[in-house]
Amino acid sequence: MSTTHTQQPIIIPFNKPYLEGREMGYIRDAIATGKISGDGAFTKKCHAYFESRYGFARVLLTTSCTDALEMAALLLDIREGDEVIVPAFTFVSTANAFALRGAKLVFADSLPDHPNIDPQQVRALVTPRTRAICVVHYAGMACDMDSILEIAAGVGAVVVEDAAQAVDSYYKGRPLGTFGTFSAFSFHETKNVICGEGGMIAINDPKYVPRAEIVREKGTNRSAFFRGEIDKYGWVDVGSSFLPSDVLAAYLWGQLECLDDIQQRRKAISARYRARLDALAKRGYFELPQVPAHATDNGHMFYLVCRSLAERTDLIAALRANGILATFHYLSLHSSPYFTERHDGRALPNSDRFTDCLLRLPLYYELSDEQVDFICGCIEAFFRTREL
């Protein structure tokens, strides 16, 4: 039975965009150049940063992670009838990028103890028609990439990493985003480093780089023209306008300069949540995020897995009554209004459980230790009224 709570003004939001201070100065610098469309000086700085720090073969900023995924589908020439395996517990962009090309989506379940895709499910779902396997590193924690790559190689499929949440996270010491043929990152305002809206495609097979530049530039060879490699440019392929303004890149550059500081603080918040809530988890009131042995926690998200939908609903209301905004996450895509009639009928119970029971707590750079303690205190107070 749900409990009625008196709502209070939100004093601790779910997210607060980070602003270090240099971003606005860099935006003014970008505007002063007179070049604020795509691929200006700050875009080039961001490209060089990611390629140097993480070893991506080539990166290109995009207007969103969604666009990065759509570029990957275009570059793979996904067509009607091709099968693409994706997790059911993910944001719609992961699946939509391939659905737009006519692919048959095959949804895989999550692991029992983690929202990441279950490799054994993937192994059972691959067929000779499987063109791509798209994995999502949920909460920035790595999927089992050795298993995924081995499965993909067995059927000649390409791996795409949806690394929207996985900036500066690792699998067995290697940066996420370097495993797939393509990887997509997000710089949405809810991510660790941001520019409001924005993304990036990492291209780890150099043979795709020339065409990636063309697809990103509306299907033209404009990039080669600006490098002086050709004397004029024209329409040579399909594509779209995937370039972000250099104003957004300037904001992002201000964030990247502070990445280590941002990461240190976010990880500290995550660790404090874990330390404060561990006793309740051990008593069985909820589950805390599991960090696989092969993965790292990049401080992107801290969540609880409650025992039921009803209890999660009550906990959200109790936190809101104390001015704290916590929220659930994805709704299983296999049972979405769009896809229900297209699904093959398989039960995906782990995805459904995370849909009903996962609750995300506030996590952002400016969240103080005192606020974390207040949130945890409210959670403790809520469960003091609950008997196992």
Q: Are 37 and 183 part of one and the same domain?
A: yes
Top pLDDT among 273 and 238 is at: 273
Burial classification of residue 103, based on how many CB atoms lie within 10 Å of its CB (0-12 exposed, 13-18 middle, 19 or more buried): buried
CA distance 53 to 55: 6
Tens digits of residue pLDDT in 173-185: 999 999 999 999 9
Of the CA atoms within 13 Å of residue 165, those in its CB half-sphere come to 21
CA distances from 61 to 23, 36, 187, 188 (A): 17, 14, 10, 13
Q: How far apart are CA 317 and CA 6, in angstroms?
A: 9
The residue that leads in pLDDT, 253 or 230, is 253
The whole-angstrom separation of Cα 221 and Cα 10 is 50
**Contact status, residue 100 vs residue 74, Cβ threshold 8 Å:** no
Residues 122-140, mean pLDDT to the nearest whole number: 98
Q: Which of 67, 104, 112 is nearest to 86 (CA)?
A: 104
> What CATH number is attached to the domain comprising 181?
3.40.640.10
* CA 233/CA 223 separation, integer angstroms: 9
Residue that finishes a domain, picked among 236, 256, 276:
256
CA–CA separation, 161 and 378 (whole Å)? 37
3-state secondary structure of 304: strand
Domain boundary among 237, 256, 275: 256
Are 236 and 335 in a shared domain?
no
Asked whether residue 204 falls in the same domain as residue 285, the answer is no
Residue 15 lies in a domain: no
What pTM was computed for the model? 0.94
pLDDT band at 233 (very low <50, low <70, confident <90, very high): confident
Per DSSP, the residues of 360-375 read: EPP--TT--HHHHHHH
CATH number for 293 = 3.90.1150.10
pLDDT for residue 174: 98
Q: Are residues 152 and 286 in the same domain?
A: no
Number of domains in the chain: 2
Distance between CA atoms of residues 228 and 4, nearest Å: 67
- Whether 199 and 242 map to the same domain: the answer is yes
Asked if residue 235 lies in contact with residue 219, where contact means CB atoms within 8 angstroms, the answer is yes
Q: Are 182 and 200 in contact (CB under 8 A)?
A: no
Give the pLDDT band of residue 342 (cuts 50, 70, 90).
confident
Render 11-78 in DSSP notation, one character per residue. Answer: SB-S------SHHHHHHHHHHHTT--SSS-HHHHHHHHHHHHHH--SEEEEES-HHHHHHHHHHHTT-
Give the span between the Cα atoms of 80 and 98, in whole angstroms. 10
Structure tokens at 350: 């782990």
pLDDT of residue 23: 96
The reply to whether 248 and 285 lie within a common domain is no
The end-to-end CA distance of the chain, in Å, is 15
Domain annotation covers residue 11: no
Angle at 94 (CA atoms; ends 176, 324), nearest 5 degrees: 80
**Pairwise CA distance, residues 225 & 233, whole Å:** 6
Percent of the chain with pLDDT over 70: 97
For 354-368, what is each residue's pLDDT tens digit? 999 999 999 999 999
Same domain? 42 vs 136: yes
pLDDT at 20: 82
Is 10 contained in some domain? no
Domain match, 83 and 227 both: yes
Give the pLDDT band (50/70/90) at residue 2.
very low
Q: What is the mean pLDDT of residues 249-268?
A: 98
Domain, as residue range, for 268: 259-384
pLDDT digits (tens, 9 = 90+) for 295-339: 999 999 999 999 999 999 999 999 999 999 999 999 999 999 998
pLDDT, tens digit, for every residue of 30-48? 999 998 999 999 999 999 9
Q: Please tell me whether residues 347 and 271 are part of one structural domain.
A: yes
The alpha helices in 133-221, defined as continuous H runs, are: 145-155, 209-216
Q: Are residues 229 and 332 in the same domain?
A: no
CA pair distance 262, 299, nearest whole angstrom: 9
Q: Which of 127-141, 232-246, 373-387 has the highest mean pLDDT?
A: 127-141
Cα–Cα distance measured from residue 41 to residue 5, given in angstroms and rounded to the nearest whole number: 52
Cα radius of gyration (the chain): 22
Q: Does residue 150 surpass a pLDDT of 50? A: yes
* Cβ atoms of residues 45 and 253 within 8 Å: yes
State which H helix or E strand residue 119 sits in: helix 119-125
